[in-house]
Structure 1
Amino acid sequence: METASTPTHCPYCALQCGMNVSPTPGGGVEVTERPDFPVNRGALCGKGRTAPVLLSSAVRLTSPLVRSGDELVPASWEEALDRIAAGLASARTAYGPDACGVFGGGGLTNEKAYALGKFARVVLGTSQIDYNGRFCMSSAAAAGTKAFGLDRGLPFPLEDIPRTGCVILVGSNLAETMPPSLRFFGELRDNGGTLIVVDPRRTKTAEQADLHLAPRPGTDLALALGLLHLVVAEGRTDEEYIGRRTAGWEEARAAAMAHWPEYVERITGVPVPQLREAVRLFCEPEAAMVLTARGPEQQSKGTDTVGAWINLCLATGRAGRPLSGYGCLTGQGNGQGGREHGQKADQLPGYRKLTDPAARRHVAGVWGVDPDSLPGPGRSAYELLDALGTDIRALLLMGSNPVVSAPRAAHVEERLRSLDFLAVADVVLSETAALADVVLPVTQWAEETGTTTSLEGRVLLRRQAVTPPDGVRSDLEVLHGLAARLGVEKGFPTDPEEVFGELRRASAGGPADYSGITYRRLAEENGVFWPCPEPADGTMAAADSMAAVGSAGSADSAGSADPADPVARPGAPDCPATAHPAEPIAHPGTPRLFLDRFATEDGRARFVAVTHRAAAEEPDDEYPLLLTTGRVVSQYQSGAQTRRVPELNAAAPGPFVELHPRLAARLGAAEGDPVAVVSRRGRAVAPARITTGIRPDTVFMPFHWPGEGRANTLTNPALDPTSRMPEFKACAVRVEAVRP
């Protein structure tokens, strides 16, 4: 057992809170505070504090499992890998490369995500790869790329939030999804700033707001357009900024002017006086921000919805300026890095487009293959899952649990069962892993070293703190073993630092350039913000390399630290680079994007003209209500890990249906009574939770549980035409009392 405390990061959300993993006298490990990390300053939520529970061999998988009849039985690693290689090879031989699918996860490290994308395209030759991050923030990514030419969740560090004048937080319940981040918003209000929360529920986050806007689910687009209409009508636009730094304003303004306040009130249910107050609070201070999360993004018009909120920022001069801007609150632990390096259907490492010939040549050169051998873009996540058992006959799945997390989950479960062959690599026996032909037990956060990229775009080093149990291997070892069995002996190293070195070369020159980031730097600094190109001649190369994204800013966002701690030393603000004798001066990284220009060809941000349209499925006589879904503080995503932690289960033991008292009275349902929520896709049953904090026309369910209370049995897989994001946040349902 290791005896020293190891500084690392939480395995859960995209805050990637700093923590120390320390041995306990009884031979176990515990999490202790790490106050030097600026994002959480030592604070941890219950999930982070209890993360060591998952390291126990009594909780996690420790042996490969193979299917024997209706059961999964222990097997050797050689047998398990042989079976997977045979299953993938059989499908490829019989039906072609695209009969093999690969499905990844937003919790995989950058190294794993990179290797998985390379494995799919080089070893299998398949285009059919995507990941569950498609369900997380793909709409914000698409909208940000359209507007700014670059997608990074937050183009500024979280530490800027308390110093701005107003934040509009759209569709995020940070108090339950990212509790340590809520202090930034508390500090904002302490400093005299204001917080506006947009959410159909009066959540714990909304309770902290100066103004809470509660629109009907699926109407955030109309709300944003209505606010922009008022900005124009009240003469609050920043015409000098619009003329100097943007393009496309005339068309966007015309579209917004069709959404007058009374019309928007009828659509959203938000009263006109609240709309006017929101505009006043947002426009009066010198600086302001809009932050979006899953609420506006998980819609069949999510890209347009986020685009409308970006338009509000651009029209008021609130983007690409200090303490102002638009940002997206990434959800999964490595949701940002997970899509930057190749496990997304249409992207290559460095956030390069798979359809770009120059990008294909560059990455193929790093990989040592012919650019023409790389397949083109494949299906998005839900489309890939929907094709299982028909076009896709064999699937390799790493770090995801779509039986619980995917929309129209009963159908997805059926598709998984119809496969000729399914292999799952995971830490625990999830509901999806239980369906597999082969299950591989893989290492997790504290048992391995690797990098993640936080919601700020801060690349971080997670360090191995404990030795994994016997019988467990890393995902990199899995891909190495499978590649060798499928005829590719080289190119899949098992050392994460070696993989990261290749990732650096593959990303060099791309939008998400990591080439100037090394494990050595990450061990000495509190993360490095990308883009961070490698200087070619030993000089500070910021002027040329950052021309597309603006000023590099300073590295003082690393925060204060104990100077005696070599792991956390942030570097002085006036000299942010890390330098070593006889080495070139390192690029400082880019905590703040777009201060000089946007990442478009002409440096101007783009307005996108959008208009409101209804959700894919609106209420009717048969299904008169709207369902929206979300999370609770003591569970995480599909719950595959957190449902195995007794303390978390005691706090959140199962699903529930949140109802307004008027709706409950019509049903004759009391607190705790079982009720059924029914959509066109299925039926879920859970106890009623009655509260005035939800709209009377809306019901809410958390999505962490399988079985009878599985919320995603109900949700609509209608896809955004650009991002291919499913519409988790709005579908038509009815609620029925369940009688004995």
Structure 2
Amino acid sequence: MTNSIADIASADCIFVIGSNTTENHPVIALKVKEAVRRGARLIVADPRRIELVNFSYLWLRQKPGTDLALLNGLLHVIIKEELYDKEFIAQRTEGFEALKLAVEEYTPAKVSEVTGVPAGDIIEAARTYARGPRSTILYAMGITQHITGTANVMALANLAMACGQVGKEGSGVNPLRGQSNVQGACDMGGLPNVLPGYQPVTDPGVRHKFSEAWGVPDLPGEPGLTLMEMMAAAQEGKLKGMYILGENPVLTDPDVSHVKEALKNLEFLVVQDIFLTETARMADVVLPGASFAEKEGTFTSTERRVQLLHKAIEPPGEARPDWLILNDLLLLMGYPRKYSSPGEIMQEIAGLTPSYAGITYERLEDKGLQWPVLSLEHPGTPVLHREKFSRGYGQFQVVHYRPPAEEPDEEYPFLFTTGRNLYHYHTVISRKSRGLEEMCPAPVVEINDNDAARLGIREGEMIEIVSRRGKVRVKALVTDRIPRGQVFMNFHFHEAAANLLTIAALDPVAKIPEYKTCAVAIKVKK
């Protein structure tokens, strides 16, 4: 996030897109509601009638997979009506003229035809966001898990820069992370093309710095594989072994049948987790890790806040903290250094990672610090890009709409999309809770009441959802939350794994799968 969670409450306009915030990020949703009570105007772009629609000034009900057309349509109106921030663009950005030309074709009428959003609502949303005066964008995986996911995020950056809504309170572009330490994992180099602090592996100087610190020969200069590329390589026999830590791809990756075949094709699979997950059951070796309450360490939240956790209880049985397991493996593989504590590891991180340079465990005891923290005296950075962008000038990016990789047809006439449920966290942890299981014990598929009537489907009836990749049997939830021609399913349940149906089409840049749109058929067995 460019801004802080608390900062959301000070916004005059909040644009939420691709985020069912009350169910996926309920604490952040409270800040959104606080802002609305104070008088902020909320714009919600979502195909489903989510709870935030009840608090919204405008609801843009776009067809799944058409976000980029909608965003370019907003920019078209802002530019045509000269609502953009001329001073900000002139002083802090480049490439605006190319953007102006690119969005000329995205007229409200044309965008309405593509997205299903009335042209008048597109115009009003553009005016409301541009006039702010403080406008913030909140987004989540609803816009990233598409073949145009990277382009969607670039379009949001275009929108924010065009209106000068960056580098000040109550503004910004704020991704809401999907899990508790996704931000921290990325910060620490959990990506195939960077080392900690987003320092590129292609930079010889960066590689030399880390090689010197670790006392190892020069590190590889080529980026590694993304998750989906690893699965493809395993399927082809090019990748022989895999070490999976705290991940359950047998339920969470698209086209689960393909994932299982890929993992079976490995010569050696290690899984490190706190439960014996569906993926761990396929492993040659399972290493029992400790939960968050059973170890020392830090989590970095969605607002870039590095937070210190102290161990509350001892790990059960043979479970051990992840850092100890990894340290022992490093020693067995010839690494010459044994770390004594997580605090010592943080000292090394601070020495090698500029954005963490001023972070120590002692400084984190209070309420954490938001990176970048550039020195021991630096207070942290609640708002990014106040004076300039990390590259100097902000670069407008020309991005164009593309339809989803798979759209409904005669054989598979429904558009299928997936998401989370308030009562369950991903696929493993919350399903161990008796209380949460009582609140939401079984999977359901949402189907529009008109579609249900046409197909003769009754509430609670078991129906079969079929795609080109698989099928599941699941109870029907008949509702007007979902539009006609669409169905929605949560992905937490192994009994009816939604990702048996989803397509493994990838965004060409980030290689993120298109979880949010594919074509399915509905079969009713009387």
TM-score (normalizing by structure 2) = 0.97
Q: What residue in structure 2 maps to residue 530 of structure 1?
A: 371
CA distance in 1, matches of 2:211, 2:380: 26
CA distance in 1, matches of 2:20, 2:454: 28
Equivalent runs, 1:277-426 vs 2, <5 Å: 277-371=124-218, 373-374=219-220, 376-388=222-234, 390-426=237-273
Q: What residue in structure 2 maps to residue 621 of structure 1?
A: 410
- Structure 2 residue 477 is matched with structure 1 residue 631: no
CA distance in 2, matches of 1:360, 1:344: 15
CA distance in 1, matches of 2:169, 2:290: 41
Amino acid at match of 1:735: I
Amino acid at match of 1:645: S
Equivalent runs, 1:155-166 vs 2, <5 Å: 155-166=2-13
CA distance in 2, matches of 1:231, 1:429: 52
Q: What residue in structure 2 maps to residue 596 of structure 1?
A: 387
Structure having greater relative contact order (Cα 8 Å, sep ≥ 6): 1
Contact 1:340 1:347 in 2 (8 A): no
- Structure 2 residue 312 is matched with structure 1 residue 521: no
Contact 1:253 1:609 in 2 (8 A): no
Contact 2:3 2:173 in 1 (8 A): no
CA positional deviation for 1:235: 2.2
Amino acid at match of 1:506: L
Choose from 474, 480, 490 the match for 1:702.
Answer: 490
Amino acid at match of 1:515: A
Contact 2:168 2:383 in 1 (8 A): no
* SS of aligned partner of 1:687: strand
Measured against aligned partners, the alpha-carbon deviations of 1:436-491 in whole angstroms (never above 9, x if no partner) come to: 11112111111101011111011100111112223221222212222233333x23
TM-score (normalizing by structure 1) = 0.70
Measured against aligned partners, the alpha-carbon deviations of 1:345-404 in whole angstroms (never above 9, x if no partner) come to: 111012111111111111112111222x43521111111122225111221111000000
Contact 1:401 1:430 in 2 (8 A): yes
CA distance in 2, matches of 1:736, 1:475: 45
Q: What residue in structure 1 maps to residue 499 of structure 2?
A: 712
Measured against aligned partners, the alpha-carbon deviations of 1:183-240 in whole angstroms (never above 9, x if no partner) come to: 1111111211111111110012322222211111000000001111111222211212
Contact 1:480 1:494 in 2 (8 A): no
Contact 1:366 1:505 in 2 (8 A): no
- Relative distance call for 1:687 and 1:492 in structure 2 (3 A) is farther
Contact 1:479 1:492 in 2 (8 A): no
For this pair of structures, how many residues does the alignment match?
A: 525
Q: What residue in structure 2 maps to residue 76 of structure 1?
A: none
Choose from 345, 348, 351 the match for 1:502.
Answer: 348
CA distance in 1, matches of 2:238, 2:329: 22
CA positional deviation for 1:492: 4.6
Contact 1:441 1:472 in 2 (8 A): yes
Q: What residue in structure 1 maps to residue 49 of structure 2?
A: 202
Measured against aligned partners, the alpha-carbon deviations of 1:629-659 in whole angstroms (never above 9, x if no partner) come to: 0000010112x11111111111111211100
Q: What residue in structure 2 maps to residue 547 of structure 1?
A: none
- Structure 2 residue 121 is matched with structure 1 residue 267: no
Amino acid at match of 2:105: A
Contact 1:216 1:698 in 2 (8 A): no
Contact 2:207 2:221 in 1 (8 A): no
* SS of aligned partner of 1:344: coil
CA distance in 1, matches of 2:400, 2:265: 40
- Relative distance call for 1:484 and 1:322 in structure 2 (3 A) is closer
Measured against aligned partners, the alpha-carbon deviations of 1:57-89 in whole angstroms (never above 9, x if no partner) come to: xxxxxxxxxxxxxxxxxxxxxxxxxxxxxxxxx
* SS of aligned partner of 1:395: strand
Contact 2:10 2:169 in 1 (8 A): no
Equivalent runs, 1:400-549 vs 2, <5 Å: 400-488=247-335, 490-493=336-339, 495-508=341-354, 513-523=355-365, 525-534=366-375
CA distance in 2, matches of 1:722, 1:587: 34
Q: What residue in structure 2 maps to residue 728 of structure 1?
A: 515
- Structure 2 residue 29 is matched with structure 1 residue 182: yes
Instruction: List gaps (5 residues or longer) in structure 2.
Output: none
Q: What residue in structure 2 maps to residue 14 of structure 1?
A: none
Contact 2:253 2:259 in 1 (8 A): yes
- Relative distance call for 1:299 and 1:492 in structure 2 (3 A) is farther
Q: What residue in structure 1 maps to residue 15 of structure 2?
A: 168
State percent identity of aligned pairs: 39
CA distance in 2, matches of 1:657, 1:178: 22
Instruction: List gaps (5 residues or longer) in structure 1.
Output: 1-153, 536-585
CA distance in 2, matches of 1:181, 1:451: 21
* SS of aligned partner of 1:306: helix
Amino acid at match of 2:68: L
CA positional deviation for 1:323: 2.1
Contact 1:627 1:729 in 2 (8 A): yes
CA distance in 2, matches of 1:677, 1:331: 26
CA distance in 1, matches of 2:176, 2:27: 13
Q: What residue in structure 1 maps to residue 398 of structure 2?
A: 609
CA positional deviation for 1:532: 0.8
* SS of aligned partner of 2:521: strand
Q: Name whichever of 177-186 and 318-327 sits farther off.
A: 318-327
CA positional deviation for 1:326: 1.4
